[in-house]
Structure 1
Amino acid sequence: MGKRSLQASSEGIRKARQAFKRKGWTQENLASEVGLETRQPIWKFFSGKPVERQVFHEICQSLNINPEEIIQADENTQEQNIESIKISTALPSDYEKKIKSVLKDKTQHQCGTLRFLDVSRPLHLKDVYVDINVSEEISSHKWLKIESLQNLKPNLNLSQLNLSQLNRLEIKKSQQSGFDIAVKYPRIIVQGRPGSGKSAFLQAIAIYCSQGKLLADSIPILISLKTFAEKYEVYNQSLFDYILECLNNEINHLELNAILQDGRVLILLDGLDEVQESISKNIITEINSFTEKFYKCRFIITCRTAAQLYNFRYFVEVEIVDFSESQIVIFVYQWFLTVAQTSFAAAKTLAEQFIQKLQLSQNQQIHELTTTPLLLSIACLLFHTHGDFPRSRSEIYKQGLELLLIRWDESRGIERDELYRYFSLLDKIKLLSQIAKIYFTENQYYFTESRTQQLIANYLRQSYTSKNIEDTEALLLDSYAILKAIEAQHGLLVQRARGIYSFSHLTFQEYLTARDIVANVNSNSLDELVNYIHVQSWKEIFLLVAEMLPSADNLLILMKQQIDLIIATNPKLQSFINWVLQKSELIDVTSKTSTTNLYKTAIRAFYFTHGLPSEHPLAYNQDITLHLDCYLAANLPIKMSLDMALTHAFAISLAITPDVFHQRLRAMHLALDLKHLLADNDLLSDILYDLRSKLPNIDEDRQTLRLWWQLHGAVWIEKLRSIMIEDFQIGYNWEFNLKECKLIEQYWNACQLLLDCLNNASSNSSDNTCQSIKESLFLHQP
């Protein structure tokens, strides 16, 4: 029989406090969520004292943590666990020995080397890998986004930094080593920007785990989610069966099931963002089912930041942060020692020269961009070859491509075939840009050899005019040879499987796509581009184009017009936007404490999400609000605080059923206790007091309360809604259908993308255009 009360272990308290911190609540907020009249049980929970079993589980549910992972085991249970561990360790099963033997060599082969985009040979991971740092404060989380971004970088002077001083550099307290976080939590989602080192991190985890240096009791299995998704789409293959296939069926179904059930496997799922949007929900469902079935295993998932909307229960989200100054130094030193194959002394000298030049004011932008492994490796190659750096991210990609297209031949001294060597650098970039753009527009990251040959032939037929080539038809027939030349000479197109190609990195495909759009800006390419403003995979294209255009004003204006069109043909959405404006105008801005001139726009963004149904994924999202005015959260006007409290109370009431009414009744009383916000309005205070008084006494028995809510709950909720509408002008039932909910989400995401593009184009767009666009957000444009 289970104990009537439970208490958290010391480790459990630490996990619970971190979850509580991520929520941004007070203990009163948590008490309200759980349905407690006082916060005493909350205090006892965080103090490690026993609390009622039901209350313990409700607190865990509110904090999104697994209660079984934080419960303090009693002494008898601990002794039994110790004995079990002794038996398991002393007598390891045959299937565990077998799978470890099968996977050790496979893991080393699969994960033991890294390929840099600009290096012709694989490198041993141990020679070049630098452990990443992660933060549990995800920058995109509500209300914490601005604060968590303000202190990412340590204030160190790299020009005065010596390699011998590295051991004295400390990682910021808000950050943790990637390896530490892998040990700390059994289920993790690792988010990161493109090229931030997500895949290399999983490779390193797999290698060190297989060698017994990290999570020695676990058996690592690394899975590419994109490859699995392709199998799933064609064969409807389960994740379990795919793992069996990856192991070459060297262990059978029962053996794999047994070791998964025993929780001895570390499952590494790489690249959730690379799964096609059309089947992403299916893949997420499959992963959830797998993690629920084999809940004892450890899991790490990687995903590009804001790329996917997902819901993985009991997973801790962490975000890869920029390389610290010390990590940059370590990476640079290892790069010159390993890639450039220089001596220890020469590598040290080159690294210090690199760092000193990186600190020069003219290289400030490069310094900001060389904080991911991908961009830093390109910068190292550029420095090694030219001793200088470009100033922007798009310029890094441009010079990186030019370096690949020129230096590849020269460094290897290879004489190329007659067909391809007459291609100028511009020809090569234009051809690759067209290929990239066509496939990206078709949402294709992998493409067939035959189709790519046709694209090359089309380019030659339309564009090739060199006088050195007399027989153009011969070039068309030899498009296969040109494809092979691009692959062999530059490594930009890589054959992933027989007859299947891709760009060596998605970043290059995105850059080349953006370049093709910019090159054809006079051919309505921007008009075509803005049609994809609601497609998540095009986000990076918009950001690059905004940065690369000589003047981004036209693009920004077209984006704003396209955003307005999203809701232009829907009267209900137009009414909703008009309500947002009317509601925002009720807020007094004359006494605002904000220092920005976008205060009104930030208020409209606030009401845009607070007017949505509570079940909408964007309900209460304040990312754009904080983006526009980071001071608003700390200085929320009384009326906005009151509206936020009422929408919270209404959301609680909608979630109540007769069976849980006895648990939520206290929460309703607390949620409607708003005297502190209505001190100057006795009438509204009395109205809410009267509504609270209509709720039954909390001392009534459970059956009586259940019957009351069954008979009167719907009427009471409608009364609350009526008060909100009549007295506070909030809480309208807009009755959005699924299509309208999707349009609202597209509108919001497009506004966020437009703000990001405005930031990227700050140096190549007019101040008036930027200000005008920001001030017109969340307004109906007739």
Structure 2
Amino acid sequence: MTSQGLRASPEGIRAAKTALTDKTWSQHKLATALGITRQPVSKFFAGESVSRSCFVQICQQLGLSWQKVAGLPEDVAFEATPKAQFKGADLDTLVREVRQKRQDKIQDQCNILQMLDIAQTVQLMDIYTNINVLEEITSLQWREISDLLKDFKSESDFNQLGGYKRQRRLPGLEAVLRHSKLMVLGKPGSGKTTFLQYLAIECNKGEVQPNHIATYIRVKEFAEDAKNDSQLNLLNYISQEFLNCGVEKESTKILLTQGKLLILLDGLDEVPAEKADKVTIEIRRFTQTFYRNQFVINCRIAAQKYRYQGFAEVEIADFDQEQVEVFAKKWFFAVALNSKEDGEAIGNLFINQLHLPENQHIRELAVTPILLHWICLVFQVKGEFPLKPAKLYEQALNILLFRWDKTRGIKRDRIAHNLTLVTKKKLLFQLAAISFEQEDYFLEQEKILQLIADYLEPLQNINSEATQLQLDNEAVLKAIEIENGLFVERARGIYSFSHLTFQEYLTARNIVESYPAYAWNNLVSHITEKRWHQVFLLTVNMLPNADEMLQIMKQNIDFLVAGDERLQYFLTWLHQKSSSVSTHYKAAAVRAFYLVYDERSSCHRHRAFVYNSGYDLEYALVGNIAFDSELALDEFLFSTVACVNELDFAFEHSLNDALDHAHAFAIAFDEAADLVVDPKLKQVLQKLKKQLPKIDSNPEKFRGWWQSKGKAWGEQLRDMLIKYRNIGYDWQFNQQQKELLQQYYDVNKLLVDCLNSAAYVTPIVRQEIEETLLLAIADIQKLRNSCIND
């Protein structure tokens, strides 16, 4: 070929000069706009040969058809030009120019977010949080339920199942840079769309794949815009998109042929069912034809049916703690429209409260970005989490069931469209309740299908809706998994609820939906099982009247220790001691105080009463009562006795921290002595203190003294506390009694939490429960007889 470029015809030159005049540009200004030197522009207007890419760019900038300017037929395509002509500097120039023309379009498509229940738009880059991906798809792993249960040691582990703990998390951007063809899978609301929009913006800025041009396509819109199957053509669709930005089709074809596009196909699962197969075929054809380009496709993990040749697959991982914190801090600044200082402050408050033990169930939901957004929205209103979280869980459930899709105008024409929302919810209630009752956190697919069949089959006989329910049970399961993400496949053929919180909430909803016919004894039979405690709390929170349930709980709790004579004696002492204390706090709260501290001081190290200060029963009743002077005195005395036990153990076993316990003992003893008002007790304590050698001046002397005389000294202390304060007993409970007492404490704490969480309890029932908390059976009967006589 004598010439590797194009030259303008005389008519073309005249048209170009007219266009240049209309724009009031000089040739120099045209060259500057194109980002090229003046020389090719001068050659163009002189009718000399210039490179084809420059020729096309000049014509496009002037708004002219390059074929007409060159005097060629309109249907001349780029295939007529050898590929070698579009490599190197000319191709790079074309990429830069087209990216510049596409810049505003990409910003408009991808940098504006419409967030759920937020009136104003949000800039994506103000809220975006980097995602991580898993290179092994959890649902494809061959694992057994026993393997999953090894990871499930506590509720906080639930979200880390299915290999999450074992898999290395890879930054999402790194996965894109590793693979030229990538399928990004994820659960509903996991951030799939946001990730693709982020890639488009970063590519547009030249930060990611700077030698590519971002092309963002919502697959649902691509399918909807096609009036017939012949219009399901990605080449034409992309060419038109580029043409709307002033890029000629021929330039688009060059870029595609040379592999210069980063093509982002968003929402493969959102395509209407009747077009799904056609769209799949078109994407396959297009990715194979223009294989040199980079492709990223996203899809809900359960909806993926077809595996595109050459595509690596990754799964978006749930947020970890660091990602939750980053997202929250950005949210309270960008979405809540706080000042930077206020946004940071409320963000830190949110994070601190989220990590409190009582908010563990809310924290579990926060690993899913869409639910984290909702939780931030709820927190923004009052600066705290709701004390009664059932409504929060209901709204989170509705987001996944229908609101998230509805907000984005997505109608999933799946098999479950014949199920009304009410029917679908009731099905979920039953699935959750049966599986939770049987302690099935993971279910084989066959078992779930049978549970679905057990629910749907009776409807066909009693419900007019059932005439439409000629449903395949496996299709119903898949639809719930795809549409709502409430079920996830943890391993091949093994399912669980996406969040344990949802399984607990749905179980509670099933109980409430059966009210008042539900037999409360069935629920209360689980009162000592800690895994049921959240179900209890959610149930009373949703009941219109919780009287009957709470009364049955109280009755079962009292009977728990009714048969143990020593524990009944202990509770009798508890009542006597708390009644002798002059304080304005409720009697039940004072009893709770002495139950905890006396039992702690009576046990040896490593066998003490187990409790968490964040869940103290007395705190649940009235708040912090340690500031009462008489209770504070007994608390320090209890601590002193507990330290004596610790010292005995430490010296007996030659522990390195023995002297640390000695210092703690000295501090507690001194604080107690300072608070004593009774002159006789004060004199006794001072006498006991004089017997103690100085700890700091001669630690070895103190060690020797304690080993020889410490046990006797401790017995003297106990005798004095029993005589003057009626505390300090060594109850000598056996291991079974200790465990029973711990259980008794835990279920009383649950009962108080239920009282505080209940939507409604009649005042008389509340009063009766509070007044009889932590009492022996005989004392309860006396109190009731007294009330009857009054």
Q: TM-score, normalised by structure 1?
A: 0.49
For the pair shown, the structure with the greater C-alpha radius of gyration is 2
- When normalised by structure 2's length, the TM-score is 0.49
